[in-house]
Amino acid sequence: MVWLLSVLYLLCHGLALVLLPAHAQTLSFSFLIGAPVLAAAACLRRSVGSEAVVGWVALAVGMLLWAGGMAMNMYQEVGLGNADATPGISMLLYVLYGVPLTFAMAHPRHAPWFLSVIDGAMALLLGYLFFVYTFSFVTMTDASDAGVDSLRLMFDIENLFIAGFALLRYLASDDASRRGFFRALALFAWVYMAVAAYINHFGSDASYGGHADLLIDVPFLLLAAAAWRRMPLAPRQVSRRLALGVRVGSPLILAISLLVMSSLLVRAHPMLAVAGFAIATLGSGLRSVLMQVRSLEQQDRLDVLARVDGLTGVANRRQFDQVLQAEWGRARRSGQGMALLMVDIDHFKVFNDRYGHPLGDACLRAVAAALAGSATRATDAVARYGGEEFAVVLPAATREGVLALAENMRIAVEQLRLSSPVSVGQIGVTISIGVAWVDKVTTAAPSALVAATDAALYEAKRQGRNRVVEGQVAAVRAEDMDR
């Protein structure tokens, strides 16, 4: 239906030219203004709820700027009756329509606000350079033939620039929403480039109101239809390296545009050209620095997630394994002893079944906090070993200090009281602790220490739970030495 309405729009435009030749120019201008306005409306509608909302809104702004340029042409030729003059303001709006499109291609997905501010500032400067360059050849009401020729060349470069980068962004998009946007933009840009090249170089002598005007409608109607109708996208594999490379490099589009425009202004406006070069360089550099800082912050957060248990906030099993191996190696080199504690929450399955998983999670968090609060040395490491089990690595510790700390942990947990909405009063919880200590490390792997701690924990539970039991590290076989 959308495509049928687009064809109907063209037919109505053509019939108006044939049936009402006396008013052909006025009617044709109305259709030429209406087509980009319809495209803008379709883009704004598509932006609602879309992840590519910035792109669709920018595209709508570009369409309205182009419609404004055509409206100025209409005012000049119909309102003032001067068909021979080319208003400079109209030419400027035709050029400026490409600035929002360039911004849309350069703006990355999910960009933070400060990057949007930098991109927006560079886009505004680009628009100002377009303004200065345009009015180097035209006036508000007229343009010389040489000026029009220079602007035609700039139009060709701008259109090719937009079409080429839009196609590249489409081919490299691995996100369905962004891919749909760049497909619509690439379709419009390539058709518009072809139509503009024909009109500017072969049909520029003809005034508005002829059948060539129907061609001008086509790219805008295609965009309106593509934006209004959510056409399905066939699955397509995109090289991850290509997608990342284009996504990271896309902000350079604005910087490149600024550099090109600044180079065109070197002779006529050298100071402005230098400012353009400087802002393009500084803006791109500042953007790169901020992106790198943001990337490092995200890396830090991921590093924390990789080392910390999400529920309890203590170290996870992976971090425990790394700490245990590192402290074991350090103890072996220094000749100091070390200890390991294995902690198990007593009857935790029964607790979970009776009071529910939310209170079970609260219990795990409370026990983890009590254990971490008791292990006051910076070198002590408390970790969630798995399920309701915890482990504590104690480097450079004495046997008496280890046993005293284990008992303090048991008492700290025994004193905990958890509130339950389904029971009267508060709920207590206890733990069993297995302890193993070595005064001298002689092997490369701490497997004997872990085995002794596991055996001590099993013995603590066998003896009735809520207690601390010390295990003995088994003798190490000769073939295990220095493994």
pLDDT of residue 234: 64
Residues near 120 by Cβ (< 8 Å), separated by ≥ 6? 103
Residues 346 and 463 in one domain: yes
Q: Which of 456, 342, 333, 445 is nearest to 396 (CA)?
A: 333
Residues 329 and 298 in one domain: no
pLDDT of residue 46: 93
Distance CA 220, CA 226 (A): 10
User: Regarding predicted confidence, which is higher, 381 or 235?
Assistant: 381
Flag whether 311 is in a domain.
no
User: Regarding predicted confidence, which is higher, 426 or 342?
Assistant: 342
Distance CA 101, CA 119 (A): 12
Residues 334 and 375 in one domain: yes
pLDDT of residue 232: 63
Flag whether 77 is in a domain.
yes
Residues 329 and 226 in one domain: no
- Asked if residue 380 has pLDDT above 60, the reply is yes
Flag whether 312 is in a domain.
no
Catalytic residue among 388, 414, 459, 470: 388
Query: Residue 316: pLDDT band by 50, 70, 90 thresholds?
Result: very high
- Amino acid identity for residue 238 in this structure: V
Strands 418-419 and 426-427, sheet pairing: antiparallel
Name residue 384's beta-bridge partners.
Answer: 390
- Asked if residue 71 has pLDDT above 50, the reply is yes
Residues 325 and 262 in one domain: no
388 is catalytic: yes
pLDDT of residue 142: 61
* Tally of domains in the chain: 2
Q: Which of 323, 312, 258 is nearest to 122 (CA)?
A: 258
Residues near 151 by Cβ (< 8 Å), separated by ≥ 6? 91, 95, 134, 137, 138, 143
Distance CA 169, CA 185 (A): 10
**What is the mean pLDDT of the segment spanning 405-434?**
87
Residues 226 and 150 in one domain: yes
- Amino acid identity for residue 72 in this structure: M
Range of the domain at 462: 317-480
Query: Residue 201: pLDDT band by 50, 70, 90 thresholds?
Result: confident
Q: Do residues 93 and 69 touch, judged by C-beta distance below 8 A?
A: yes
Q: What share of the chain is helix, strand, coil (3-state, %, to 5)?
A: 65, 10, 25
Residues 145 and 273 in one domain: yes
Residues 225 and 359 in one domain: no
User: Regarding predicted confidence, which is higher, 312 or 207?
Assistant: 312
Angle, vertex CA 128, rays to CA 126 and CA 134, nearest 5: 105
Structure tokens at 32: 């030429």
Check which CATH number belongs to the domain holding 446 and give it.
3.30.70.270
Distance CA 168, CA 253 (A): 12
pLDDT of residue 144: 66
Helices (H), ranges, 265-356: 270-307, 317-334, 348-355
State the average pLDDT for the chain: 87
Max CA separation in the chain (angstroms): 109
pTM of the model: 0.68
Query: Residue 424: pLDDT band by 50, 70, 90 thresholds?
Result: low
Domain finish residue from 251, 279, 304: 304
- Asked if residue 469 has pLDDT above 90, the reply is yes
**What is the mean pLDDT of the segment spanning 328-334?**
90
Residues 102 and 133 in one domain: yes
